[in-house]
Amino acid sequence: MNFIKEAYDMRLKEVLNGVEILKIINGDIDNNINISGVAYDSRNVKPGNIFVAIKGYASDGHRFISSAIDSGANVIVCEILPEENNNNIIYIQVGHPRRALAVMSANYFGHPADDMVMIGVTGTNGKTTSTYLIKAILESRPGNQVGLIGTNQNMIGAEVLETERTTPESYELQKLFAQMRDAGCTHVVMEVSSHALYLDRVYGVKYKIGVFTNLTQDHLDFHETMGNYCDAKAILFQNCEIGVCNIDDPWTEYLIKNASCKILYYGAKKENHPDLLAENIVLDADHIAYTAVLNNNNNNINQQVPVKTGIPGAFMIYNTLDALCAGIALNIPLEDGAKVLNTVPHVKGRVEVVPTPGKNYNILIDYAHSPDGLENVLKSVKGFAKGRTVALFGCGGDRDKTKRPKMGKIAAEIADFVIVTTDNPRTETPMDIIRDILPGMTGMDTPYIVIEDRVEAIHWAMDHAEPDDIIVLCGKGHETYQEINHVKYHMDEREIVAEYLN
């Protein structure tokens, strides 16, 4: 379904409104030139487009200015002006091309985010589940239609759209906002990655609510330090009205040191005095339950509401608390949010049960791909497993290498048996990645096996399962592919299990 027109008719001055310009060659912003679109990839340029040259981490868009002109671009926005210029082309120099792209994209699509209530969720783990839970709570209110943007998929109401990355580039993001606005969406709930914040993909977007889940090691190949990683996340709380933050997370104080918003805290540790507290926690094999205690001294509110949801795992305490707290910030009563959580379905790839009819073992799929994510899911499973907890995992290639031995150590410390295999090797050799994992398992008593091929590893786990085992397939989650040397090959672990059983 396409809710927006394919092209907008806009003048150059309108597209450039709000862009900080350093220099213009061969014209001015009052030039009456018509703009047919905005592009940052020269392969997508069409006649009459503005081309924005961005220095990326893999390539430099300035190298493709000539190609963009050959394809019909009549305006070039760039950080470095070319030594030779075409007299028929307007060149605009800016200090921050990514910010310029974000501003121009918002202008081109008519600032769609301004017409909807924006909710952004950031953190290392729990973003996807939290966005689905918040979406469900919002949709329980009459008149609400909610757009969702995230790792699993994008959604306009109930319609599912495929997604390539957690937070799209600013042009695609603004186009998606416009689709949602034109489809009648009243709210947008979205995952906001640290990359998106640091690289200005959400620059200029004003959020009503910003949610922080937690911060643990991930993406240090990009951010280099945990402080840098947290600083990127913190940008969200300089661009929202109300922050909903996990008071139990040790990074929260650092995260909000420069926040410009009101903060609501949630947590499960009474001594931290959160606004929304989980007490009397019950963890079971097929659900969690607790008493949500709302203490808001500013409004003289003291309320206790039972909460239960059919998704297991201790981490779900925090995922449900942040969703309830976001609802409260949007004036949705705690008891109403709790009723929604009681009926909400599983989120794909998050402690997802894979059918194994006729077998005396169980298989779960989880997206755990960071040390903290792996620890959370394995501890949760260990808490309700009647037999062994069998962990099958690998680590992604071209990503933070320092987390690999840490994940090996976590798997060996918690699981009863470990199968080390391949995740998305990307451009790395799978066995090189596995060799980085194994030192973390040195000196552990936990038995393990290395099976490089992931499909073969899953088959081996099923063949060697013992009664009441729970096999946890970690790392792929919702993904239905394996990426090798820039090619995505189909791989759906649900299908692998079903086909092998048959």
Give residue-wise pLDDT tens across range 122-153: 998 889 999 999 999 999 999 999 999 988 88
- pLDDT tens digit sequence for 88-116: 899 999 999 999 999 999 999 999 999 99
pLDDT, residue 121, reads 97
Q: Is residue 501 over pLDDT 90?
A: yes
Arithmetic mean of pLDDT, 437-454: 97
One-letter amino acid for residue 45 of the chain: V
pLDDT at 87: 86
Percentage of the chain surpassing pLDDT 70?
95
Per-residue pLDDT tens digits for 59-70? 899 999 999 999
Mean pLDDT, residues 487-497 taken together: 97
How far apart are the C-alpha atoms of 122 and 60, rounded to whole Å?
28
CA dihedral of 324, 328, 333, 339, whole degrees rounded to 10: -10
Of the two residues 3 and 380, the one the predictor is more confident about is 380
Question: Which comes out higher in pLDDT, residue 312 or 132?
Answer: 132
Instruction: Give the pLDDT mean for 203-220.
Output: 88
Look at residue 298 and tell me whether its pLDDT is greater than 60. no
Q: What is the pLDDT of residue 422?
A: 98
Q: Is pLDDT of 34 > 60? A: yes
* pLDDT computed for residue 105 by the predictor: 97
Lowest-pLDDT range of 196-205, 221-230, 296-305, 463-472: 296-305
**CB < 8 Å & 24+ apart, contacts of 88-91:** 88/26, 89/26, 90/12, 90/24, 90/25, 90/26, 90/27, 90/31, 90/33, 91/24, 91/25, 91/26
CB burial string 125-134: b at 16+ within 10 A, e below: bbbbbbbbbb
Q: Which residue, 345, 318, 323, 319, is CA-closest to 336?
A: 323
pLDDT at 57: 75
Cβ distance 303 to 277 under 8 Å? no
**Do 441 and 374 contact (CB within 8 A), yes or no?**
no
Helix (H) or strand (E) holding 105: helix 97-108
- Average pLDDT taken over every residue of the chain: 92
- The pLDDT tens digits for 137-193 are 999 999 999 999 988 889 998 898 877 665 789 999 999 999 999 999 999 999 999
- pLDDT of 2 above 70: no
pLDDT of residue 321: 98
212-224: average pLDDT: 75
Mean pLDDT of 21-31: 89
Beta bridge partners of 267: 277
Indicate the pLDDT class of residue 6, thresholds 50, 70 and 90: very low
Please give the pLDDT value at position 3: 39
Q: Could you read off the pLDDT of 322-380 as tens digits, one per residue?
A: 999 999 999 999 999 999 999 987 788 888 889 999 999 999 999 999 998 899 899 98
Residue 8: predicted pLDDT? 62
Q: Lowest-confidence range among 148-157, 319-328, 409-418, 437-446? A: 148-157
Residue with the bigger pLDDT between 162 and 435: it is 435
Q: Which of 8, 46, 50, 55 is nearest to 29 (CA)?
A: 50
